Amino acid sequence: MTTLHDLHADQGQSPWLDNLRRDWLQDGTLAGLVDQGIRGVTSNPTIFAKAISGQDTYDEQFGSLIATTSVEDAYWDLVVDDILHALAILRPVFDSSGGGDGFVSVEVAPSLAHDTEGTIGAARDLHVRIDRPNVLVKIPATPECVPAIRQMITEGRSINVTLIFSLTRYAEVIEAYLSGLEALAGSGVDDLSGVASVASFFISRVDTEVDKRIEAAGGGPTSDLAGLRGKGAVAQARLAYALFTDRFTGPRWEALAARGARVQRPLWASTSTKNPAYPDLAYVDTLIGPDTVNTMPDGTVADFLDHGTVARTVDADLDGARSVIDRLASAGIDMEDVAAVLETEGVASFAASFDDLMTSLAAKAAQLSGR
- At 271 the pLDDT is 97
Task: Determine the Cα–Cα distance for residues 171 and 158; give it in Å rounded to an integer.
Answer: 19
> Which residues on adjacent β-strands are paired with residue 105?
136
Helices (H), 97-137: 116-130
Reduced DSSP (H G I as helix, E B as strand, rest coil) percent helix, strand, coil of the chain, to 5:
55, 10, 35
Whole-prediction pTM = 0.95
Q: Indicate the SS3 state at residue 159.
A: strand
| E strand or H helix that includes residue 30 | helix 29-35
Backbone φ and ψ of 16, nearest 5°: -115, 160
Q: H or E element: which one contains 138?
A: strand 135-140
Catalytic residues: 138
Q: How far apart are CA 189 and CA 182, in angstroms?
A: 10
More confident residue, 97 or 58: 97
CA distance 356 to 85: 25
Considering only residues 231 and 50, tell me which one the structure prediction assigns the higher pLDDT: 231
Give the pLDDT confidence score for residue 166 in this predicted structure.
97
Q: Among 174-183, 215-224, 246-255, 354-363, which is the least confidently predicted range? A: 215-224
Burial class of residue 258, CB neighbours in 10 A (0-12, 13-18, 19+): exposed
Q: Which CATH number fits domain 3-205+263-314+348-368: 3.30.590.20, 3.20.20.70, 3.30.870.10, 2.10.109.10?
A: 3.20.20.70
Q: Domain limits of the chain?
A: 3-205+263-314+348-368
Segment 148-168 mean pLDDT: 98
Which of 117-126, 164-173, 209-218 has the least mean pLDDT? 209-218
Question: What are 41's strand-pairing partners?
Answer: 17, 104
- So what's the pLDDT on residue 222? 59
Pairing of the two strands 265-269 and 292-296 = parallel
